[in-house]
Amino acid sequence: MCRNENFALEKLPDEHAIAEQPWLAKQLAGLAEAPGPVAERADLLLLLARLSLKKAGRGP
């Protein structure tokens, strides 16, 4: 299913880990926008959509 052997949806970090590492969210967004299988990209978009828009560790 995956076009890249180094990338597997089953091995993605959880939402909290992604939210704490903005660079990782940007990398996943790039993968979601890249050409590839629609099902794989849809899974990435769903994962990214569940992330909070607030920056981790800032303010109340």
Length of the chain: 60
Its domain, for residue 44, covers: 14-49
Residue 3 in any domain: the answer is no
Domain count, the chain: 1
Residue 43 in any domain: the answer is yes
Residue 9 in any domain: the answer is no
Tens digits of residue pLDDT in 5-20 = 455 566 777 777 787 8
Residue 29 in any domain: the answer is yes
Residue 22 in any domain: the answer is yes
Residue 35 in any domain: the answer is yes
Count Cβ atoms within 10 A of the Cβ of residue 10 and give its class: 0-12 exposed, 13-18 middle, 19 or more buried: exposed
Residue 18 in any domain: the answer is yes
Tens digits of residue pLDDT in 22-55 = 888 889 889 899 998 898 889 889 888 888 766 6
